[in-house]
Chains A and B, each alone.
Chain A
Amino acid sequence: MRLYATVAVSSFRRYATYRLATVAGVFTNTVFGFIVAYTFIALWSERPHLGGYDRDQALTFVWTSQALLAAACLIGGGFQVELQERIRSGDVAVDLYRPADLQLWWLAGDLGRAAFELLGRGVAPMTVGVLAFGLALPTSPLTWAAFLLSVLLGLLVGFALRYLVALCAFWLLDGSGVNTLQGLLCMFFSGSLLPLNVFPGAFGDIARALPWAALLQVPADVLLGRHHGATGIGAALAFQAVWAVLLLAAGRALQAAATRKVVVQGG
Chain B
Amino acid sequence: MADHPLVRPLRRPAAGTRAYGLVAGMWIRSALAYRASFLMMAAGNFAATALDFVAIYLMFRHVDALGGFTLPEVALLYGTTSTSFGLTDLVLGNMDRVGRRVRDGTMDTLLVRPVPVLAHVAADRFALHRLGRLGQGLLLLVWSLSRVDVHWTPVTVLLVPLMLLSGSLIFAAVFVAGGAFQFRAGDASEVQNAFTYGGTTLLQYPPTVFAQDLVRGVTFVVPLAFVNWLPALRLLGRDDPLGLPGWADFASPAVALACCALAGLAWRAGLRGYRSTGS
A interface, CB within 8 angstroms of B:
18-21, 23-25, 27-28, 31-32, 34-36, 38-39, 41-43, 46-47, 50, 172-178, 180-181, 183-184, 187-188, 193-194, 198-200
A252 to B124, CA, bound (A): 38
Assuming the contacts A39-B205, A50-B62, asked whether A187 and B51 have C-beta atoms less than 8 A apart, the reply is: yes
Binary CB contact string for chain B from 29 to 58 against chain A (1 if under 8 A, 0 otherwise): 000001011111100110110011011001
Selected from A31, A176, A180, A199, the residue in CB contact (under 8 A) with B194 is A31
CB distance from B233 to the nearest CB of A (A): 17
Instruction: Please determine whether A43 and B66 come into contact, CB atoms closer than 8 angstroms.
Output: yes
> Which of the 9-residue segments B144-152, B207-215, B245-253 touches chain A?
B207-215
Assuming the contacts A28-B191, A35-B202, asked whether A199 and B58 have C-beta atoms less than 8 A apart, the reply is: yes
Selected from A36, A177, A193, A194, the residue in CB contact (under 8 A) with B41 is A177
Instruction: Please determine whether B62 and A47 come into contact, CB atoms closer than 8 angstroms.
Output: yes
Instruction: Please determine whether A25 and B39 come into contact, CB atoms closer than 8 angstroms.
Output: no
A180 to B190, CA, bound (A): 19
> Which of the 9-residue segments B107-115, B162-170, B181-189, B255-263 touches chain A?
B181-189
A47 to B61, CA, bound (A): 11
B242 within 8 A of A: no
Instruction: Please determine whether A47 and B63 come into contact, CB atoms closer than 8 angstroms.
Output: yes
Assuming the contacts A20-B187, A32-B194, asked whether A46 and B63 have C-beta atoms less than 8 A apart, the reply is: yes
- State the main secondary structure of chain B at its contact with A: helix
B273 within 8 A of A: no
Selected from A20, A173, A198, the residue in CB contact (under 8 A) with B188 is A20
Selected from B37, B40, B188, B214, the residue in CB contact (under 8 A) with A24 is B188
A178 to B37, CA, bound (A): 8
A181 to B45, CA, bound (A): 9
A121 to B188, CA, bound (A): 14
Instruction: Please determine whether B34 and A173 come into contact, CB atoms closer than 8 angstroms.
Output: yes
- List the A side residues contacting B36 at CB < 8 Å: 172, 177
15 further contact pairs, Cβ within 8 A, besides A42-B209, A177-B37: A21-B188, A24-B188, A24-B191, A27-B190, A38-B205, A38-B214, A39-B59, A43-B66, A46-B66, A175-B37, A176-B37, A176-B40, A177-B39, A180-B44, A187-B51
A18 to B39, CA, bound (A): 34
Assuming the contacts A20-B187, A24-B189, A199-B58, asked whether A39 and B44 have C-beta atoms less than 8 A apart, the reply is: no
CB distance from A253 to the nearest CB of B (A): 24
Instruction: Please determine whether A28 and B194 come into contact, CB atoms closer than 8 angstroms.
Output: yes
Instruction: Please determine whether B34 and A174 come into contact, CB atoms closer than 8 angstroms.
Output: yes
Assuming the contacts A31-B194, A32-B201, asked whether A20 and B185 have C-beta atoms less than 8 A apart, the reply is: yes
A183 to B44, CA, bound (A): 9
Instruction: Please determine whether A35 and B44 come into contact, CB atoms closer than 8 angstroms.
Output: no
* Chain B contact patch, size range: 35 or more
A188 to B37, CA, bound (A): 21
Selected from A34, A180, A194, the residue in CB contact (under 8 A) with B214 is A34
Instruction: Please determine whether A193 and B55 come into contact, CB atoms closer than 8 angstroms.
Output: yes
- List the A side residues contacting B37 at CB < 8 Å: 172, 174-177
- List the B side residues contacting A181 at CB < 8 Å: 40, 44
B198 within 8 A of A: yes
B65 within 8 A of A: yes
Assuming the contacts A32-B198, A32-B201, A42-B67, asked whether A184 and B51 have C-beta atoms less than 8 A apart, the reply is: yes
- List the B side residues contacting A50 at CB < 8 Å: 62
Which residue, of B63, B188, B193, has the highest number of chain A Cβ atoms within 10 A?
B188
Report the nearest B residue to A194, measured CB to CB: B55
- List the A side residues contacting B45 at CB < 8 Å: 180
A42 to B67, CA, bound (A): 6
CB distance from B203 to the nearest CB of A (A): 10
- List the B side residues contacting A20 at CB < 8 Å: 185, 187-188
- List the B side residues contacting A25 at CB < 8 Å: 190
Instruction: Please determine whether A193 and B52 come into contact, CB atoms closer than 8 angstroms.
Output: yes
- List the B side residues contacting A174 at CB < 8 Å: 34, 37
